[in-house]
Amino acid sequence: MEKLYYGRGRDEDNKKLIAFLDEVFFINIPQLNFFDMLPKIYKDKYRPAYNNLVVQDENGEFRSAIGNFYNDLQIGGEHFHACCIGNVAVGEKYRSMGYMIELLNKSIEEMKEGGVDLAYLGGQRQRYGYFGFEISGRRYLYGYNKPVLKHAFGNEPSGFEIEPMQDGDIETAEKILAIYNESPVRSIRNAESLYDVLCSWNGKPYIMKKDGEFVGYFSMDENNKIVMECGVVDNKYLKNLVLAVFETSPEYDIEFCTAPFETEKIKFFNASAENTTIQGNESILVFNFEKYMRALLRVKSQYAKLCDGEAVVLIHGKFGDENLKISVKDNVPSVEKTDEKATVEFNHHEATRAFFSNFTFDRDSLPAEVQQWLPLPSYFYMTDTM
């Protein structure tokens, strides 16, 4: 009988794990590799093997691996214990043998035992839907092209000095964090690893200076086509930011990824961009609907006027029932457990779609004034995904 190891990976297998993942995902794309793509989790110091649940044979060869990358969040002033699932991999010879199902179930059980509030991932909706994940949130992509610069900004120069961010520049990292930490929905980052975070997905981070003083930053994707994250010390510099990006990238068209609560950026981009695309954000698995809904309603009330209203909703969640009274009065939201009889019932997927997803009919059973609050701004910056 063959003995297989199920459990967390071992630190001494870091390089072996990454080689296995590269073979599974990039066998026909040798120019790509996980170490360069996501340095924030695959450098040895971040313990990539340990942060994976794995199946290995007696010789230590990997058959399957799933990353459980814990990444705590701050949402509406409330702390969330969160986990991002990444690199879901099964070796080519071992597919359709149940390894992925076993490891994903172990992954979710570990999160549940560890008090996780929320899990998220990117990947095929139907594949992960079996485990309770559902697409959520929205991101806006504002598109500019070079002719737009002429008509919108008169082809002015940015007036900024633009420099690649340097690994180990902690002083600059602290200045970037000061901007990022103003976001009401964010990961808990630190200056020492920030460079690796901004290099996610083969990204290239840049800083902008005016007369030698730091005024902002942006991180471009590997194709120089999408600004995954950006920020300025003063919103009067948003025009200069757009111009600086075009001075850095050789591309004709560039999109700026924007969160729904970044209202000053949205006002500026709405007035000057050529086009707008609305996309879904990450798929989420909600362990605690009460906490997540309360925090996101609080965030939304900070940038939108919410109608007065209330509903009692019974959610048959994956991790148990939650009977919740949800209300807004004078733009002050409340979500709390109640013994009142629910007027609306949802299963886990229906509740996720109703409260957090775009363009869904699941919320049609809610009162009209409650529908006005939705979708709630579930959001993960592209640089915070794995």
| Tens digits of residue pLDDT in 295-329 | 999 999 999 999 999 999 999 999 999 999 999 99
Low-confidence ranges of the chain (pLDDT < 50): none
pLDDT value for 193: 97
pLDDT value for 1: 65
pLDDT value for 30: 87
pLDDT value for 168: 96
Question: What does the CA dihedral 382, 252, 158, 275 come to, rounded to 10 degrees?
Answer: -60
Strand partners, 69: 84
Largest Cα–Cα separation, the chain: 73
Which two tokens mark 155? 């082809």
C-alpha span between 64 and 99 (Å, rounded): 6
| DSSP characters over 295-347 | HHHHHHHHHSPPPPEEEEEEEEETTEEEEEEEEEETTEEEEEE--SPPSEEEE
| Residue showing tokens 């986990």 | 83
- The residues, ordered by sequence, that sit 6+ positions from 361 with a Cβ below 8 Å of its Cβ are none
Which two tokens mark 45? 């110091």
H-helix segments, the chain: 14-26, 34-37, 39-42, 99-113, 125-129, 146-153, 170-180, 191-198, 238-248, 263-272, 289-303, 348-356, 368-371
Q: Could you tell me if 213 and 242 are in contact, meaning their C-beta atoms sit under 8 angstroms apart?
A: no
Q: Could you tell me if 258 and 142 are in contact, meaning their C-beta atoms sit under 8 angstroms apart?
A: yes
Which residue ranges form the domains of the chain, and what is each CATH number?
5-116 (3.40.630.30), 139-279 (3.40.630.30), 284-371 (3.30.1050)
Which two tokens mark 98? 């149940």
pLDDT value for 130: 96
Which two tokens mark 140? 């806006």
∠ CA(157), CA(270), CA(140), 5° rounding? 105
pLDDT value for 360: 85
Taking each helix axis as running N to C, give the angle between helix 170-180 and helix 191-198, from 0 to 180 degrees, rounded to the nearest 10: 80
